[in-house]
Amino acid sequence: MDDTSRRLDDFADDQRPLGEDADTTRRTAVIRDEIEQTREEMADTIDAIQDKLRPRTIVAGATERIKAATTEGARAMADTAGEMAQNAINRTRETARDVINRTRDTSRCHGPDPPRCQWTDGHHSR
Protein backbone atom coordinates (compact mmCIF):
# COMPACT_ATOMS: atom_id res chain seq x y z
CA MET A 1 0.00 0.00 0.00
CA ASP A 2 1.44 3.40 -0.95
CA ASP A 3 1.35 6.63 1.08
CA THR A 4 -1.73 7.99 -0.71
CA SER A 5 -3.75 4.86 0.00
CA ARG A 6 -2.65 4.93 3.63
CA ARG A 7 -3.70 8.55 4.00
CA LEU A 8 -7.07 7.82 2.39
CA ASP A 9 -7.58 4.87 4.73
CA ASP A 10 -6.90 7.16 7.70
CA PHE A 11 -10.06 9.12 6.82
CA ALA A 12 -12.33 6.07 6.54
CA ASP A 13 -15.58 5.65 8.44
CA ASP A 14 -16.13 8.39 11.06
CA GLN A 15 -12.55 9.60 11.08
CA ARG A 16 -12.96 12.43 8.64
CA PRO A 17 -11.11 15.73 8.65
CA LEU A 18 -12.81 18.80 9.97
CA GLY A 19 -15.38 20.20 7.54
CA GLU A 20 -15.88 16.94 5.65
CA ASP A 21 -19.48 15.78 5.56
CA ALA A 22 -20.95 12.29 5.20
CA ASP A 23 -21.48 12.71 1.43
CA THR A 24 -17.82 13.49 0.88
CA THR A 25 -16.86 10.45 2.98
CA ARG A 26 -19.20 8.27 0.92
CA ARG A 27 -17.78 9.56 -2.38
CA THR A 28 -14.27 8.97 -1.07
CA ALA A 29 -15.16 5.37 -0.24
CA VAL A 30 -16.65 4.87 -3.73
CA ILE A 31 -13.49 6.26 -5.33
CA ARG A 32 -11.34 3.96 -3.18
CA ASP A 33 -13.43 0.97 -4.29
CA GLU A 34 -13.08 2.00 -7.94
CA ILE A 35 -9.32 2.36 -7.53
CA GLU A 36 -9.08 -1.11 -5.97
CA GLN A 37 -11.22 -2.62 -8.74
CA THR A 38 -9.05 -0.95 -11.38
CA ARG A 39 -5.91 -2.33 -9.71
CA GLU A 40 -7.37 -5.86 -9.77
CA GLU A 41 -8.38 -5.51 -13.43
CA MET A 42 -4.90 -4.24 -14.33
CA ALA A 43 -3.31 -7.15 -12.47
CA ASP A 44 -5.51 -9.60 -14.42
CA THR A 45 -4.59 -7.89 -17.69
CA ILE A 46 -0.87 -8.05 -16.88
CA ASP A 47 -1.19 -11.74 -15.96
CA ALA A 48 -2.95 -12.46 -19.26
CA ILE A 49 -0.23 -10.61 -21.21
CA GLN A 50 2.49 -12.50 -19.39
CA ASP A 51 0.74 -15.80 -20.13
CA LYS A 52 0.57 -14.95 -23.84
CA LEU A 53 4.27 -14.11 -23.86
CA ARG A 54 5.41 -17.34 -22.18
CA PRO A 55 7.58 -19.38 -24.57
CA ARG A 56 5.50 -22.54 -24.11
CA THR A 57 2.32 -20.62 -24.99
CA ILE A 58 3.95 -19.19 -28.11
CA VAL A 59 5.26 -22.64 -29.13
CA ALA A 60 1.87 -24.26 -28.49
CA GLY A 61 0.14 -21.66 -30.68
CA ALA A 62 2.68 -22.07 -33.46
CA THR A 63 2.35 -25.86 -33.25
CA GLU A 64 -1.43 -25.65 -33.61
CA ARG A 65 -1.13 -23.35 -36.63
CA ILE A 66 1.40 -25.71 -38.26
CA LYS A 67 -0.83 -28.74 -37.60
CA ALA A 68 -3.83 -26.97 -39.11
CA ALA A 69 -1.87 -25.88 -42.19
CA THR A 70 -0.39 -29.36 -42.65
CA THR A 71 -3.78 -31.03 -42.30
CA GLU A 72 -5.33 -28.61 -44.76
CA GLY A 73 -2.45 -29.14 -47.22
CA ALA A 74 -2.72 -32.91 -46.95
CA ARG A 75 -6.47 -32.73 -47.49
CA ALA A 76 -5.98 -30.56 -50.59
CA MET A 77 -3.36 -32.98 -51.94
CA ALA A 78 -5.68 -35.93 -51.36
CA ASP A 79 -8.50 -34.12 -53.18
CA THR A 80 -6.19 -33.35 -56.10
CA ALA A 81 -4.93 -36.94 -56.21
CA GLY A 82 -8.52 -38.20 -56.20
CA GLU A 83 -9.45 -35.91 -59.07
CA MET A 84 -6.38 -37.01 -61.04
CA ALA A 85 -7.20 -40.67 -60.44
CA GLN A 86 -10.80 -40.15 -61.56
CA ASN A 87 -9.59 -38.39 -64.72
CA ALA A 88 -7.20 -41.27 -65.44
CA ILE A 89 -10.03 -43.78 -64.93
CA ASN A 90 -12.28 -41.83 -67.29
CA ARG A 91 -9.57 -41.61 -69.98
CA THR A 92 -8.84 -45.33 -69.60
CA ARG A 93 -12.54 -46.16 -70.04
CA GLU A 94 -12.75 -43.97 -73.15
CA THR A 95 -9.64 -45.59 -74.60
CA ALA A 96 -10.98 -49.08 -73.83
CA ARG A 97 -14.28 -48.23 -75.55
CA ASP A 98 -12.38 -46.96 -78.60
CA VAL A 99 -10.26 -50.13 -78.71
CA ILE A 100 -13.34 -52.37 -78.39
CA ASN A 101 -15.18 -50.46 -81.12
CA ARG A 102 -12.20 -50.56 -83.46
CA THR A 103 -11.66 -54.25 -82.77
CA ARG A 104 -15.34 -54.97 -83.45
CA ASP A 105 -15.23 -52.91 -86.65
CA THR A 106 -12.01 -54.60 -87.79
CA SER A 107 -13.37 -58.11 -87.12
CA ARG A 108 -16.49 -57.32 -89.16
CA CYS A 109 -14.40 -56.11 -92.09
CA HIS A 110 -12.01 -59.09 -91.99
CA GLY A 111 -14.42 -61.89 -91.16
CA PRO A 112 -15.25 -64.91 -93.38
CA ASP A 113 -17.53 -62.86 -95.64
CA PRO A 114 -16.13 -59.30 -95.37
CA PRO A 115 -18.38 -56.51 -96.60
CA ARG A 116 -16.84 -53.58 -98.35
CA CYS A 117 -14.97 -51.62 -95.59
CA GLN A 118 -12.94 -48.48 -95.78
CA TRP A 119 -11.10 -46.43 -93.22
CA THR A 120 -12.73 -43.06 -92.57
CA ASP A 121 -11.37 -40.69 -89.91
CA GLY A 122 -9.55 -43.54 -88.19
CA HIS A 123 -12.65 -45.81 -88.10
CA HIS A 124 -13.88 -48.51 -90.42
CA SER A 125 -16.97 -47.74 -92.36
CA ARG A 126 -19.12 -49.85 -94.65
39 pLDDT higher than 80: yes
Domain boundaries, the chain: 1-53, 60-111
Q: Which residues contact 18 (CB under 8 A, 6 or more apart)?
A: none
How far apart are the C-alpha atoms of 27 and 24, rounded to whole Å? 5
Residue 109 vs residues 52, 99, 112: alpha-carbon distances, Å: 81, 15, 9
Q: Model pTM greater than 0.75?
A: no
Q: Using one digit for the tens of pLDDT, what is the confidence trace for 4-16?
A: 555 555 555 455 5
